[in-house]
Amino acid sequence: ANLNFRICLRVQTPDESQEIIRRPDAAFLPPEVPGRAYFQVGNVLQQFQVARVGLEHAEFDPSDEATPILQLSRFEKTTDLLSKEAVREASATSPTLAEALTNHIAAQYAEKRPELVLLEALPAQLGLAEVLRKGDYGGWDGTTWRAPGTERIWACAPIG
């Protein structure tokens, strides 16, 4: 594919920027704003901001001082429903931010099935008479041109 675009994040020297986007601008992007970049299509240069999604995703921060969740039975016996071991096991396999974002988007669109683009498959054999029975197409009946929806007058074709 002939795509004529370039993306350049902050570089260290104006020469590197000149080599990528034919301008020294990418060398002067502020280092205190990570993720700033230039997008060039043809000769049009546009500055944009990218986000980092490779960090660990933390829904909650389990600590050693977590409040225990206790179940009180009718015999006044308490049971710890969320032990510290369960919290550690759950937090040990936490997904990255990119995985959490992908899972969330996939869950949003999981119920929506794409519409079928193709029609149903045709049978292995399909005769002309069957096609003509299913639709009233009009056309040449052997003597005249017939409009769709008019009575069919079939002409006999001599064979042999």
List the one residue out of 48, 42, 41, 44 whose CA is nearest residue 10: 48
Burial class (CB in 10 A: 0-12, 13-18, 19+), 157: exposed
Average pLDDT over residues 84-90: 59
List the one residue out of 8, 42, 36, 3 whose CA is nearest residue 24: 8
Tell me the β-bridge partners of 56. Answer: 96
pLDDT of residue 42: 86
Percent of the chain with pLDDT over 90: 21
- pLDDT tens-place string over residues 98-129: 888 888 888 888 777 777 788 888 788 878 77
Of 10-19, 84-93, 122-131, which gets the smallest average pLDDT?
84-93
Given a cut of 90, is residue 24 above it in pLDDT?
yes
8 Å CB contact between 99 and 54:
no
pLDDT of residue 25: 93
What pTM did the predictor assign?
0.36
Average pLDDT over residues 47-76: 65
